[in-house]
Structure 1
């Protein structure tokens, strides 16, 4: 092999070709133009020893180009050609739901990143890896199968059930922007839920997960067509979303007949909290789940969040999600590139570190 040549995915590339036109700053600019900002690139693509001084070290360029090519799943010759536009995989069959004034092309970087991160998680599930078992097609039937579903630990119970079924729940809290609330996908023949928000309210996160499981249980997503819910505050987005919401309500609330409060109560967080607490005492259903089953009819998540704060139910979801990720995923045994992708699951700390459980 000639001096200065390297092999990547079957290609033999002389990395010194076009070197006068290539640079790390130019590559970073091309990534930004492709929709991948510096914060995401630093977390998911660049090595952990990277700092700003590395930008002006051209000898590091070949390694960074390889990392970019691997992440984008494109030939190295594409990355090393400074005239070529970098693009994420578009997933043209993705089913975009609840999208407000955002085109498919603008969501493509977040979808590509989420699918790559989900792939890293699936490849590194701890042994024994259970064959994926989809929940029943009816939310109430799923509720009846969940162990420990006693109304006081709803999010904990459903997340444990899903991981135990072989369905990862991935809190990808650092994605390219614009992002999404939730994504239901099939990755390497395994259903996966990816959460793209940073919400911490127990009931809100439980409802979002149950909604995405509704898509999976009903077969709405396929390997080439993930379902992407961009904005949960958008109402009435068609039958698919209505059925996924219905699935979530039946899974979290069950058969309890809990009437929706009056519009005035739904708009007042104190009244909302009071009525949810009363309904929880009467039915045994989790108050946070009740609040977020109600708010789907109004889209007023600000009031719902204030109501959950009044009931001391506004925090704890992130801790639970990370706890199960650490329990079921072998980060230390993963390849370096997979480890780097999974860094976005715990922003600001190395994967597998003690910080991931806090």
Structure 2
């Protein structure tokens, strides 16, 4: 027998996880959803399916009146800093896990192992950047070698590492600043920091790249609440030093005020993603969900309207 549940029941159950109705309507339901549909039992069942799919929830638990809602099983996860698996962290955990799944599915790439020697990686990145410049620009790069966000993104995608930015977490949910997840035999890095500053986001990306290069995560998922330059954790210290030795300025991550010289970092990251996603692989709902949570400009940038 098909279970019967009202929309108010669904909203109440999801509020137990800290996911409020406004967020559900904005991100977890399709654009054609309206209040009239919330009074129709068949439509509510369909809506529950969309919510479960987009947020990574177990549909059976969502529909059962006498069960709390549960997230689908997650891969083995290493938590850093103050994270512990409670509902405030599991919501963010589930959202980024679902996005990483979708991005891994929608991009075709083969992961190439990266060296543990940070100087070797730095040399590879600078050589690639130099080759892309006209001759007069190469002289400037030689005098003042710098690695910025776009150079890091070029390197990551070249190595088969997908990178995206997502920070649209529900209110009252403990956000995630950075995470690495393995899907389809390759890593996906998600940067969840709210910063727009490219320099700050570049440091976070270099930090996560350090975890991969140093072998801190070879399967499953690593979740970081924040990148702490003073963390006593050995792996965190090594990842920070990796980013610094790569040529990133640690003052960028600790600065309270964003630099006006490096705006729009989030858009830069997701523009790279948009150019590499095979949008035809997604069904209409997945397509729309990616547009919503990653930004409409993402699709428009590659001519998708």
For the residues of structure 2 that align with 1:326 and 1:37, how far apart are their CA atoms?
Answer: 29
2:129 to 130, 137, 148: 148
Structure 1: how far apart are the matches of 2:193 and 2:25?
19
Report the TM-score, using the length of structure 2 for normalisation: 0.82
TM-score, length of structure 1 as denominator length: 0.71
CA contact (8 A) 1:34 1:88 kept: no
Q: Are residues 1:117 and 2:99 paired?
A: yes
Residues 229, 240 of structure 2: 8 Å contact kept: no
Q: What does residue 10 of structure 1 align with? A: none
Change (3 A) 1:345 1:356: farther
Deviations 1:175-234 (A, max 9, x none): 24211110012122210100112211121100000101111222222443x111102357
Q: Which has the higher helix share?
A: 2
Aligned to 1:78: 61
> How has the CA–CA distance of structure 1 residues 152 and 222 changed in structure 2, closer, same or farther, with 3 Å as cutoff?
closer
From the CA coordinates, give the structure whose radius of gyration is larger.
1
| Aligned pair partner of 2:271 in 306, 323, 328 | 323
- The number of equivalent residue pairs is 286
Q: Unpaired runs of 5+ in structure 2?
A: 131-140
Aligned CA distance change for structure 1 residues 77 and 173 (closer, same or farther; 3 Å): closer
Q: Secondary structure at the match of 1:36?
A: coil
Show the counterpart of 1:271: none
Paired residues of 1:139 and 1:249 also in contact (CA < 8 A) = no
Instruction: Measure, in 2, the Cα distance between the counterparts of 1:174 and 1:356.
Output: 24
- Structure 1 match to 2:216: 220
1:71 Cα deviation from its structure 2 partner: 4.3
Q: 1:163 maps to which residue?
A: 157
1:281-324 CA-to-partner distances (Å, cap 9, x unmatched) read xxxxxxxx43xx1466xxx431xx35x34xx23x1212211210
Shift of residue 336, structure 1, vs aligned partner = 3.0
CA-atom RMSD in angstroms: 2.7
Residue of structure 2 equivalent to 1:353: 300
Structure 1: gaps spanning 5 or more residues? 1-13, 254-288
Q: Within the alignment, does 1:103 sit opposite 2:84 as a pair?
A: yes
